[in-house]
Amino acid sequence: MLKVKNIYKKYKQEEVLKGVDITVEKGDVVVVLGPSGSGKTTLLRCMNFLERADQGEMEFDTISIDMHKVSSKEIGKIRQKTAFVFQNYNLFQNKTALENVTTGLIVGRGIVKTKAVEIGMKALEKVGLADRASFYPSQLSGGQQQRVGIARAIAVEPDVILFDEPTSALDPELVGEVLAVIKQLAKEGKTMVIVTHEMKFAADVATNVVFMADGKIVEEGPPKEIFLRPKEERTKTFLRRILPQEEYNI
Amino acid sequence: MEINYKFLIDTFYIVLAAVPTTLKLTIIPLLAAAPFAFTIALIRLQKGKSLWKVPVSAYVTFVRGTPIVLQILMIYSLLPSLLNALMKAWSFDINVFDWDPIFYAYIVFTLNIIALLSEVLRSAFGSVEKGQLEAAECAGLTKVQAYVHILLPQAMVVAMPNLCNLTVNLIKGTSLAFLMTVKDMTAVAKVSASYGYNYIEAYLDVFVGYIIICSIAQVLFHFAEAHMGRYRLSKQK
């Protein structure tokens, strides 16, 4: 459904992405892992054109796009079909939780207000925050804000939701509530691409794990393969460094 | 020294009658300057190079770097003759020198406020997190929609204290309009005083007049900020 080929991205002299391919089919939960600085977030941001790739092609359903020379009209089209969940939530500060969810529907997609409010309340219910609908972001905890962020993403019924380290900015005790919501979405068969550092969670929800290092994809496959029988040395060292810490969390 | 109380009170009413002129000299330039100031602020906030950046920055620097008295004197001595020459050249039968001088006052104050307001807006927009625009665009809003619904409301709250400052300074600055023979509060008081040399009384009246107007403006801005910024409520605790 969504295919990205051969993405290159450079910041000044620093090559961040050196030819990355990624394929997402309907119902897939693709988890992108890797050490910091490996280009995971940049890849995700390029897929939604928050960053402009220097080179690369995208195929989204029937649309195919040159990711460097993409027009703002094409970007608009892609963004109507996708949703993005940010690391630091980025809720609209001047809008209530409900308005955060409905603004994209009313303003961005021209849906009438009563219908949008209905959709918005349903989305908030799904993330367990219907009783916080009239609260402003400044009155919500980090975990609640991120759940509103997820509600905002699912309300527009996107073909794919992109998660950029959705729990990295949260207090450890609030991580669980956000992961539970994402797990629920995975169960419902939502198509998602998730950048995360939560290994246990990754193993639970992923249909496909992509391991990145130094701007390239080192290894990809089903979670069982990657976590239990990694082939590449780079993957093994990464997992060895990460997994022992996970023991404490269990 | 004796204070002429009758004159003091009579002149106060004359000054009050000129309050609308002072308000017009404040509000009309503010409204007229707003669209230009927004444009300049957005141009100056753009990343990278833009053809417009240099002239626009030069304009702001020029206005901020010269006293408003000088701007008034320059424009008031240049503009009428310039317009007159233009009218003659195009053979319009209009006598520029018959126009109400308040027209020139509007122009001077608008030109001045464009520069100052653009700086207020620039700092206000700069204070809104970059992620807000990204989130709006990801939610399917166009850039214009993002500015109208998300960025502008947040920027205006941040801008309120500076905007209040600017407005109060403008209210006080309009007293210089007497240089262009505009009959604002200061001018009418001076004229009244000149008949019997009751300057102290006249100045006291004007003094009180400005304090009242400026205080009301500050209270209004305070309420506006509280209302527009109500989404920040829990942060202020």
Task: Give the pairing type, strands A29-33 and A192-195.
Answer: parallel
Tell me the nearest-neighbour CA distance from B58 into chain A, angstroms: 30
Residues from chain B contacting residue A81 (CB–CB below 8 Å): none
What DSSP line would sit under chain B, residue for residue? ----HHHHHHHHHHHHHTHHHHHHHHHHHHHHHHHHHHHHHHHHH-SS--TTHHHHHHHHHHHHTS-HHHHHHHHHHHHHHHHHHHHHHTT----GGGS-THHHHHHHHHHHHHHHHHHHHHHHHHHS-HHHHHHHHHTT--HHHHIIIIIHHHHHHHHHHHHHHHHHHHHHHGGGGGGGT---HHHHHHHHHHHHT-HHHHHHHHHHHHHHHHHHHHHHHHHHHHHHTGGGHHHH-
Domain boundaries, chain A: 2-242
Q: Cα dist. A83→A157, A160, A167, A188, B137 in Å?
A: 8, 7, 17, 17, 10
Q: Which of A79, A83, A94 sits opposite B150 (nearest CB)?
A: A94
Q: Which of A74, A94, A103, A105 to mutate to test the interface with B (most CBs of B within 10 A)?
A: A94
Residues from chain A contacting residue B135 (CB–CB below 8 Å): 84, 86, 90-92
* pLDDT per residue as tens digits for the range B139-186: 999 999 999 999 999 999 999 999 999 999 999 999 999 999 999 999
- Report the domain count for chain B: 1
At residue B91 the predicted structure's pLDDT band, cuts being 50, 70 and 90, is confident
Percent of chain B's residues with pLDDT above 90 = 79
At residue B237, the pLDDT reads 39
Tell me the nearest-neighbour CA distance from B158 into chain A, angstroms: 12
Across the interface, whether the CB atoms of A92 and B150 are under 8 A apart is answered yes
At residue A74 the predicted structure's pLDDT band, cuts being 50, 70 and 90, is very high
Residues from chain A contacting residue B154 (CB–CB below 8 Å): 93-94
Tell me the nearest-neighbour CA distance from B121 into chain A, angstroms: 18
Q: How far is the C-alpha of B169 from the C-alpha of B7, rounded, in Å?
A: 29
Residues from chain A contacting residue B131 (CB–CB below 8 Å): 86, 88, 90
Tell me the nearest-neighbour CA distance from A217 into chain B, angstroms: 26
* A3 pLDDT more than 60: yes
Q: DSSP secondary-structure letter at A137?
A: G
Q: Which of B136, B153, B231 sits opposite A138 (nearest CB)?
A: B231
* pLDDT per residue as tens digits for the range B189-224: 999 998 888 899 999 999 999 999 999 999 999 999
Across the interface, whether the CB atoms of B140 and A90 are under 8 A apart is answered no
Across the interface, whether the CB atoms of A90 and B131 are under 8 A apart is answered yes
Q: Which of A93, A95, A108 sits opposite B140 (nearest CB)?
A: A108
Mean pLDDT over B30-51 rounds to: 92
Instruction: Provide the CATH number for the domain around residue B112.
Output: 1.10.3720.10
* B132 pLDDT more than 80: yes
Nearest chain B residue to A73 by CA: give it: B142
At residue B90, the pLDDT reads 87
Mean pLDDT over A228-245 rounds to: 85
Query: Contact at 8 Å (CB) between A111 and A162?
Result: no
At residue A245, the pLDDT reads 55
Residues from chain A contacting residue B230 (CB–CB below 8 Å): 136
Instruction: Count Cβ–Cβ pairs < 8 Å, chain A vs chain B.
Output: 77
Across the interface, whether the CB atoms of B145 and A108 are under 8 A apart is answered yes
Complex-level ipTM: 0.91
CATH homologous superfamily, domain A2-242: P-loop containing nucleotide triphosphate hydrolases (3.40.50.300)
Across the interface, whether the CB atoms of A109 and B140 are under 8 A apart is answered yes
Residues from chain A contacting residue B134 (CB–CB below 8 Å): 50, 84, 86, 90
At residue A126, the pLDDT reads 95
At residue B236 the predicted structure's pLDDT band, cuts being 50, 70 and 90, is very low
At residue B115, the pLDDT reads 97
At residue B49, the pLDDT reads 81
Tell me the nearest-neighbour CA distance from A60 into chain B, angstroms: 16
Q: Which of B131, B138, B154 sits opposite A79 (nearest CB)?
A: B138
Q: How far is the C-alpha of A23 from the C-alpha of A58, rounded, in Å?
A: 10
The residue ranking higher by pLDDT, B173 or B237, is B173
* A247 pLDDT more than 70: no
* B75 pLDDT more than 60: yes
Average pLDDT in chain B: 92
* pLDDT per residue as tens digits for the range A164-201: 999 999 998 999 999 999 999 999 999 999 999 888 89
- Chain A segment 112-171 residues within 8 A of B by beta carbon are 136-139, 152, 156
Tell me the nearest-neighbour CA distance from A205 into chain B, angstroms: 24
At residue A250, the pLDDT reads 47
The residue segments making up the domain with residue B153 are 5-236
Across the interface, whether the CB atoms of A79 and B234 are under 8 A apart is answered no
Q: Which of B132, B157, B231 sits opposite A90 (nearest CB)?
A: B132
At residue A246 the predicted structure's pLDDT band, cuts being 50, 70 and 90, is low
Mean pLDDT over B34-50 rounds to: 91
